[in-house]
Amino acid sequence: MRILIVDDENTKVVEICGVLRDAQITEESITVATTAASALKELKESYFDLLIIDMYLPNRIGEAPSLSGGVDLLKRINRGNDVQLPEHILGLTSNLEALAASEEDFSARSWFVEEVGPSKTTWKLRLMEKLQYLKAREEYQGNQSKSEIISTRPECEVLFVCALLDPELTALHAVSGCDWEVVTFPGDPGIYWSASLKFGANTVSAICVCLPQMGLVAAGVTAAKAITLFKPKLVVMTGICAGRKGDCDLGDIIGANLTWDYGSGKFTEVAGAVVFEPAPFQAAATARVGGVLAELSNDNELLQKLYKESPGYRPAKVPKFHVAPLASGAAVQNHKEFFSGVVTQQRKMLGVDMEAFAIAWACHEALEPQPSWLVIKSVVDFADGTKDSQIQSFGSYISASLAIYAVDRLINR
């Protein structure tokens, strides 16, 4: 594996190399360029598996860094046929202006750009994901057979699935009180985390995974693969969702007792107008999961405790825990008429997300014995065009915390 770091800040290069060392990448595999011009020279002469670009970058030696330096290099790489294109590209910067100026161009090409700073950890996790993918590919190409790959995987009692690395997965790791170890397997591009959850005298084996992207397809494929390989008894999804305004408040928690794909159905023409006729299959949580959700919804003392212990921002009042239907769809909803249309499918529906039904369906269709599923999410907007980014961290924290309590009651009773 060969990696090219393009950065003129030595401090940041040292940090990046620290992550590479943690992933057992040798020093001989790393090349550093300090300008866009020197990076292009390297790319013309050699192939690199991973390119790490600083966004605030000078074009040539002696020139001042430019806010568009990293983006200009990215465009030049994609435009020219005289360079060897790397398999993966990751943008990093500690300059917020450069970050804002580059996000659109990177996302348009399906690459990530992350902020680097003393309190920022997402970039390290993102970089580790890239490295583990490349290592897994190399090992697979080293003639590992499928049977050898599967036999190396541990089974677990609980599988956690999060849609977002930050704040959802980071919140889960924080509230669990465990040391999560990164684990990878030959031939598998996925990155997993393994830990032992301690509940008094009992220990529960757990593995967690973060989706490569949001949405029903990514959630279903990721969950189905992990269920087949790790054989969990329980699959848990935590995180954030949209809620039905007037029936819940920001920060409230929804424990899903029912979920479905609200986009399942057909479009037909009626009197010259296009009409959507829904035909969803609804997946219900098991009676045991429903019972634990009902317990948590009535545990006001626990809700107050978690509210008071919340780090950082919190809503003005203690949130409520609702046990209610949660619908899923493939697209982000951001207009005020949305709920009025979807609620006709289930009048008690309280929230929507992009993954819950896929998790439930993966469990429903799993090889025997099928695991139970548990989805607990916190309301951070009302799918009406208004957003409050502050509430997302709280929502990730409170949903993960309640899920840990639910796991204890479901596994250890």
Claim to verify: residue 354 and residue 383 sit in the same structural domain: yes
Domain final residue pick, 111, 137, 163: 137
Claim to verify: residue 212 and residue 343 sit in the same structural domain: yes
Residue-wise pLDDT for 197-215, tens only, equals 998 889 999 999 999 888 8
User: Does residue 142 lie within any of the structural domains?
Assistant: no
Claim to verify: residue 259 and residue 178 sit in the same structural domain: yes
pTM summary value: 0.67
Claim to verify: residue 153 and residue 209 sit in the same structural domain: yes
Contacts of 67 (CB under 8 A, 6+ apart): 55, 56, 95, 97, 98, 101
How far apart are the C-alpha atoms of 409 and 284, rounded to whole Å? 19
C-alpha distances in Å from residue 18, one per residue of 11, 55, 104, 125: 11, 20, 28, 13
Claim to verify: residue 237 and residue 382 sit in the same structural domain: yes
The two tokens of residue 318 are: 């203690």
Claim to verify: residue 306 and residue 274 sit in the same structural domain: yes
Query: What is the CATH number for 110?
Result: 3.40.50.2300
- Give residue 360's Cα distance to chain centre: 17
What DSSP string describes 17-72? HHHHHHTT--GGGEEEESSHHHHHHHHHH---SEEEEESSB-SSTTSPPBTTHHHH
Structural domain of 164: 148-412
Claim to verify: residue 169 and residue 212 sit in the same structural domain: yes
Domain final residue pick, 115, 137, 159: 137
Helix (H) or strand (E) holding 111: none
pLDDT at 149: 46
Claim to verify: residue 323 and residue 405 sit in the same structural domain: yes
Claim to verify: residue 160 and residue 124 sit in the same structural domain: no
Query: What is the CATH number for 393?
Result: 3.40.50.1580
Claim to verify: residue 298 and residue 408 sit in the same structural domain: yes
User: Does residue 143 lie within any of the structural domains?
Assistant: no
Backbone angles phi, psi at 61, to 5 degrees: -60, 135
* Residue 363: CB atoms within 10 Å: 23
pLDDT mean by block of 10 residues, the chain; 413 residues:
93 92 90 95 92 93 91 85 86 90 80 84 84 74 49 82 94 94 83 92 94 90 94 97 91 96 74 70 93 97 96 93 92 57 72 94 92 97 78 96 96 82
C-alpha distances in Å from residue 61, one per residue of 8, 37, 246: 10, 8, 59
Q: How many domains does the chain have?
A: 2
Claim to verify: residue 125 and residue 159 sit in the same structural domain: no
Claim to verify: residue 222 and residue 301 sit in the same structural domain: yes
Closest CA to 194 of 168, 230, 227: 230
C-alpha distances in Å from residue 295, one per residue of 301, 409, 412: 12, 10, 15
Contacts of 81 (CB under 8 A, 6+ apart): none
How far apart are the C-alpha atoms of 229 and 151, rounded to whole Å? 9
- Give residue 377's Cα distance to chain centre: 14
Domain final residue pick, 106, 137, 168: 137
